[in-house]
C-alpha cells in the first residue's frame, strides 16, 4: 500500500479558495457576497476567477478590505491549444495592464457577437423574439453567456426558470455555439507581461508529462491540483505531477451557485503551508493587494472550530 493511503486523517484547515465565480460571469452571487461567504468561513484569502472578465475584482476588493480578507486578483480564461479547449486560471496580474485589458476586451466583444447570433437563432428556430440590446444592458459588466439570456427570458416571463430556458430553447445545438477562446501561448505570455502567472484549471486526465513540460516551457507556472469533481486518486496524481515538474499548486471550489453540495466557497482550497508558498509567489507578482498580502502573519494559527480540512492524501503532499 502506498504511503498516501496509509497517512492518517489530517487536521489542516483550508485557508484559501483560489477558484470562484460571480454574477460577472456565470455565477449567481455578487462579488461582495462571495467575499462575505469566504470571510464568514474564516478564510485568509479568496481569488475571484470569473470566466474571461476581471469586472468583479473592484467591487470584491472593497468588501475584502472592509472585512480584512486578501483578495487575489484572478480570471479563468478560455483557451485553445492544438484544437482542444482548456481553462487557464490567471492570478496576481496588474489589473490596469493595457495588454491584458486589450485581450479581455477582445474576448468580451466576441462574446457579445456570439450571444447576438444566439438571439437571432432563437428567433429563427423557436419564434422567440428577444431584443439583444436589452439583454446586454441588463448585464453591462458581465462576460455574456447563455445563462444571462436564460435569466432575461425568465424576467420576460417567456420561461419559468433557467432550467426551463435550457430545456426548451437554449440547449438546442444551433444555440450552443462555440465560446470564443484565446491561443494558450498568447494567454500565458500576456498574463506574464501583466506581472501575473497562470495555472491549468481542472486538468483532463489524459495529459502526459511531455504535454506539461511543453506548457511549463511556455511559461505556465502552476496547476490546479484539487477541485470538487477530482477524486482522491486524481488529487494525489496532480499533486505528484506538480512536485515532479516544479509547478506551483492552486486549488479551489469553482463556486458558481449557493446550494450545490461540495461546491460552496471554501469547500476546496489550499492548506496553510500551500497558501504560504503561493503568497510568496504573489508577493513576487505586482498585485494591487500586496499591502494586505504583506500583512498576513507568517505563522498561521489554525482555527480550532474549523470544519474544513485538506484531505489526508494531499495534506501529505503539502507537508513534504
| Residue whose beta carbon is closest to Fe ion | 87
The x, y and z cell numbers of residue 195, run together, are 506581472
Least distance between Fe ion and beta carbon 240 (Å): 22
CB of 202 to Fe ion, least distance (A): 6
Distance of CA 204 to the CA centre of its chain: 16
Q: Is the CB of 22 or the CB of 44 nearer to Zn ion?
A: 22
Of these partners, ligand AMP, Fe ion, Zn ion, none, which one is at the site of residue 146 (CB under 5 to 8 Å by kind)? Answer: ligand AMP
Taking the complex as a whole, how short is the minimal distance between the CB of residue 156 and ligand AMP, in angstroms?
A: 17
User: For Fe ion, which residue of 24, 36, 61, 87 counts as binding (CB under 5 A)?
Assistant: 87
Q: Count Cβ atoms within 10 A of the Cβ of residue 273 and give its class: 0-12 exposed, 13-18 middle, 19 or more buried.
A: middle
The site map against Fe ion for 199-238 (x = CB under 5 A) is: --x-------------------------------------
For ligand AMP, give the closer residue by CB, 124 or 244. Answer: 124
Q: Which residue among 33, 224, 248, 254 contacts Zn ion (CB under 5 A)?
A: 254
Q: Which CB sits closer to Zn ion, 254 or 318?
A: 254
Beta carbon nearer to ligand AMP, 97 or 151 = 151
Near Zn ion by CB under 5 A, which window of 10-18, 62-70, 72-80, 175-183? Answer: 72-80
Q: How would you class 156 by CB atoms within 10 Å of its CB: exposed for 0-12, middle for 13-18, buried for 19 or more? A: middle
Q: Which stretch binds Zn ion (CB under 5 A): 3-11, 68-76, 222-230, 283-291?
A: 68-76
The DSSP result for the chain, as a single string, is --HHHHSPPP-PBP-EE--B--TTTT-SS-HHHHHHHHHHTT-SEEEE--BT--TTHHHHHHHHHHHT-EEEEEEEEEEEETTEEEEEEEES--TT-HHHHHHHHHHHHHHHHHHHHHHHHHHHHH-----HHHHHHHSTTS---HHHHHHHHHHTTSSSSHHHHIIIIITSTTT-PPPP-EEHHHHHHHHHHTT-EEEE-S--TT--HHHHHHHHHHT--EEEEE-TT--HHHHHHHHHHHHHHT-EEEE---B-STT-TT-STTSS-B-HHHHHHHHHHHHHTT-TTHHHHHTS-SS----TT---B--HHHHHHHH-
Tell me the window of 71-79, 122-130, 154-162, 203-211 that interacts with Zn ion (CB under 5 A): 71-79
Nearest to 111 by CA among 142, 74, 150, 151: 142
* Shortest Å distance, C-beta 76 to ligand AMP: 11
Residues that bind ligand AMP (CB under 6 A): 26, 145-147, 162-163, 166, 171, 179
Name the minimum Å distance from CB 217 to Zn ion: 25
Query: Which residue's CB is nearer to ligand AMP, number 54 or number 64?
Result: 54
The interface with Fe ion within residues 260-299 (CB under 5 A) comprises none
The least CB distance from residue 89 to Fe ion, in Å, is 8
318 near Zn ion, rule: CB under 5 A: no
Residues that bind Zn ion (CB under 5 A): 76, 254
Residues that bind Fe ion (CB under 5 A): 26, 87, 201
Amino acid at each position: 500500500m502506498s504511503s498516501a493511503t496509509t497517512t492518517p486523517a489530517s487536521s489542516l484547515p483550508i485557508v484559501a479558495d483560489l477558484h470562484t465565480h460571480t454574477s460577472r460571469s456565470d455565477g449567481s452571487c455578487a462579488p461582495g457576497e462571495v467575499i462575505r461567504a469566504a470571510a464568514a468561513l474564516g478564510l485568509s484569502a479568496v481569488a475571484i476567477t470569473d470566466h474571461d472578465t476581471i469586472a468583479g475584482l473592484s467591487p470584491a476588493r472593497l468588501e475584502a478590505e472592509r472585512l480584512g480578507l486578501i483578495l487575489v486578483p484572478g480570471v479563468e480564461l478560455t483557451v485553445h491549444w492544438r484544437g482542444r479547449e482548456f481553462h487557464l486560471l490567471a492570478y496576481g496580474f496588474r489589473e490596469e495592464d493595457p495588454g491584458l485589458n486589450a485581450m479581455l476586451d477582445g474576448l468580451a466583444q466576441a462574446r457579445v457577437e456570439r450571444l447576438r447570433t444566439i438571439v437571432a437563432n432563437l428567433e429563427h428556430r423557436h419564434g422567440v423574439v428577444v431584443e439583444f440590446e436589452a439583454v446586454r444592458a441588463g448585464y453591462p459588466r458581465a462576460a455574456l453567456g447563455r445563462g444571462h439570456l436564460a435569466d432575461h427570458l425568465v424576467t420576460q416571463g417567456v420561461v419559468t426558470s433557467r432550467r426551463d430556458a435550457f430545456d426548451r430553447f437554449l440547449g438546442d445545438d444551433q444555440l450552443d455555439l462555440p465560446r470564443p477562446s484565446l491561443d494558450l501561448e498568447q494567454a500565458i505570455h500576456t498574463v506574464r507581461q501583466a506581472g501575473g502567472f497562470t495555472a491549468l484549471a481542472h486538468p483532463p486526465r489524459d495529459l502526459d508529462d511531455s504535454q506539461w513540460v511543453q506548457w511549463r516551457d511556455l511559461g505556465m507556472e502552476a496547476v490546479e491540483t484539487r477541485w470538487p469533481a477530482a477524486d482522491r486518486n486524481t488529487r494525489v496524481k496532480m499533486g505528484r505531477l506538480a512536485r515532479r515538474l516544479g509547478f506551483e499548486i492552486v486549488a479551489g471550489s469553482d463556486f458558481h451557485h449557493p446550494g450545490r453540495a461540495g461546491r460552496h466557497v471554501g469547500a476546496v482550497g489550499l492548506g496553510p503551508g500551500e497558501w504560504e508558498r503561493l503568497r510568496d509567489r504573489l508577493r513576487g507578482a505586482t498585485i494591487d493587494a500586496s499591502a494586505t498580502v504583506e500583512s498576513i502573519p507568517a505563522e498561521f494559527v489554525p482555527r480550532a472550530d474549523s470544519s474544513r480540512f485538506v484531505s489526508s492524501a494531499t495534506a501529505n503532499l503539502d507537508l513534504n
